[in-house]
Amino acid sequence: MHPLLQVVGLLALIISPVSSLAQDSFPIDSIIHLRKNTNNNQVHYAVNVDQQCRPESRRTVRAYWKMLEEGPDVTEGLQLWERPGYGVRQPENVTRHKNGGEFVFQIRGVEDQPIKVEVFKSDAECRARAVLDARSGAANRRHRRFPPPVAY
């Protein structure tokens, strides 16, 4: 097995919201993130929306790295070998309303934990609310150890 694949399997990650617990919604460019325990880099999950803040039906959620070890605004896409752990299982059903919508997606490394997302327009900007374990905002910190990905 490639050494980098072994590293991905050993990462302990924390699923946590992007903003404080007092807020009940988040910007659509980072509705939830995974924080590594070995450095400050984070995998963020964003919602792709149209002009009316309705979630796109295809490629609804995208994952990207926020490389905080390199700077506050440095981002990178996921590498192919990172997708089994951090990638997204796209929603099967996306409900679109006049100014928003809702869907459920999963992070591939924690598929037993569906994340319900509601997207809406608030003060002329798109916002989102994530529900994890039936608690709004995914505010609870959940420590998860990812299993090693399968080597092909």
Pairing mode, strands 135-136 and 94-97:
unpaired
Task: Kindly report the pTM of this predicted structure.
Answer: 0.74
Confidence of residue 151 (pLDDT cuts 50, 70, 90): very low
Show me where the domains of the chain are located: 3-144
Checking if the pLDDT of 143 tops 80, the result is no
More confident residue, 105 or 110: 105
- Return the residue matching tokens 């792709």: 48
Confidence of residue 7 (pLDDT cuts 50, 70, 90): very low
What digits encode the pLDDT tens for the residues 26-62? 788 998 888 877 889 999 999 999 989 999 988 999 9
DSSP-assigned beta bridge partners for residue 42: 35, 66
- Return the residue matching tokens 């149209």: 50
Q: Where are the alpha helices (DSSP H) in the chain?
A: 3-10, 83-86
Nearest to 81 by CA among 148, 17, 14: 148
The answer to whether the CB of 62 falls within 8 A of the CB of 88 is yes
Of 24-38, 60-74, 127-141, the one with minimum mean pLDDT is: 127-141
d(C-alpha 152, C-alpha 150), whole Å: 6
